[in-house]
Structure 1
């Protein structure tokens, strides 16, 4: 069935509405960053950059790194932005934009998030790299979609019981990263764990300025939760949305986190940009080995 113009919005030049991209502008391997300035910090390592565009916070550059075509996109902050970015990227590869119908042969993208995060466990040091084996969704955006196929009810129920989760909040979801990419990034020295994704930076992550929290003890409950060998290792604002939408749409995703703070120890990196730069270098050297 033809998709209405109000549902799939295009710009006058035929590019997708928010990202300002056409299908030929992106590769099958895409690196996500939150900060638009970080795009250039990655593509400065490229041999060539063939395409650049920006609309709002969404900056995209596509080029060649050691023979592999890569795209880097800034998503901005939060799960709502991921909803825009992933749906529009999927439309670029899996919808005929002229006919406005889904393609019969679907394309699966490789999506690698390169972001910063704060560790919740004392044994994960500032300066470490962490690959998210699972994501814990605490923000509720994914409940707009049918999540039964990607949810982990046993772990979710245990978390709800452990935290005395308020029934007025959205039900938490636990979602796996892509198993092949998890194995691919299973290098010595890389930490693995469950990344919690909040819908905001202050109250949703337990920070208090002038407003009190609905549950002042929630962070301690999150830190102490365990299900078998699974522990919640870090907290940020995008990973669960990336994993959830990628899983539902048939894309492969992994979230790589530069740990620049440890909230359990109250420490912050002295040189956070250096940690991010090291993660960028590591990621680029790895992604050239991902099969097309």
Structure 2
């Protein structure tokens, strides 16, 4: 076991139960400095962008007015700064819903109330080009992490304010975008209808993309549904914006539009800060179209 993996001991753990019940030292998820992401209260803004790849953190912060690196532990890199005078943070989550869920859990514990996934995806509808943005309104929960929080028919819905801010940001920036339902998978290969090693095909994988397309699902990725579900369970705001890397209709693949998603999400945080200010001034609980930005 490495130092990284050793249990985080806290005062008062007390060791083994005298009656022999399971106990012992364990990481305390309620420590001020969080066990995995290594941030504490005051280290991050109320709104955090969640890219998967730790290398994307540098690409995100390059768009901001200023920033400071806060923490880096395992796949979790965090920086905090400002974008258009709005406080903003970014934390990478690694690949997949389990690690994304850890980030949401621990960031929520230090006061974060708004999460925006910033990622890449495969588009499955005609007319969606590589480099376009996809703004998620809801997600198909084809990942197992959110099932461990709530029953399987609970919806993974994006927060309306976050969706509105992302749409407004894409419009202001002049970026091509699409809105709609996303499917989040636990596998990049078999779970997304791709062949595995030596051509392995999971049962039903040859029909998966066609079925999703018929249901008007827009894109496939690996984290959004867990982030949305967990945020909803905790009464927090969340959304997702992804750049299209793969066009599953034409077979085209290019790593294009990454900075557009990051810029749209950063501007959305600025717009959400303004929305919150307008709500306070109007005495409204929710921002709506009748309240001007």
- Shorter-chain TM-score: which interval? 0.7 to 0.9
Partner of 2:109 in structure 1?
91
Cα deviations across residues 159-193 of structure 1 (Å, max 9, x unaligned)?
xxxxxxxxxxxxxxx42110121122234442111
For residues 1-292 of structure 1, the aligned pairs below 5 Å read 6=26, 8-9=28-29, 14-93=32-111, 109-147=113-151, 151=154, 174-187=155-168, 188=171, 189-208=176-195, 209-210=197-198, 211-226=200-215, 231-269=216-254, 272-273=255-256, 275-291=257-273, 292=276
Partner Cα distance (2:106, 2:161) in 1: 24
Partner Cα distance (1:86, 1:42) in 2: 18
Cα deviations across residues 238-292 of structure 1 (Å, max 9, x unaligned)?
00001000100111011001011111111123xx24x112222333233212125
Partner Cα distance (2:209, 2:61) in 1: 39
Partner Cα distance (2:243, 2:181) in 1: 14
Cα deviations across residues 40-71 of structure 1 (Å, max 9, x unaligned)?
11112333223421000100001122211111
Partner Cα distance (2:123, 2:269) in 1: 24
- TM-aligned CA deviation for residue 10 of structure 1: 6.6
Aligned-pair RMSD on alpha carbons?
2.2
Higher-Rg member (1/2): 2
TM-score by length of 1: 0.77
Partner Cα distance (1:46, 1:185) in 2: 17
Partner Cα distance (2:130, 2:59) in 1: 21
Larger relative contact order (CA 8 Å, sep ≥ 6):
1
- TM-aligned CA deviation for residue 233 of structure 1: 0.8
Partner Cα distance (1:250, 1:45) in 2: 29
Partner Cα distance (2:28, 2:192) in 1: 33
TM-score by length of 2: 0.77
Equivalenced residues, count? 244
Q: Contact (CA 8 Å) 1:121, 1:223: kept in 2 or not?
A: no
Partner Cα distance (1:119, 1:49) in 2: 32
Partner Cα distance (2:234, 2:110) in 1: 13
Q: Structure 2 regions of 5+ residues with no counterpart?
A: 1-11, 14-24, 277-293
Cα deviations across residues 124-175 of structure 1 (Å, max 9, x unaligned)?
1112111001110112221212347x72xxxxxxxxxxxxxxxxxxxxxx42
Q: Contact (CA 8 Å) 2:165, 2:269: kept in 1 or not?
A: no
Q: Contact (CA 8 Å) 2:161, 2:272: kept in 1 or not?
A: no
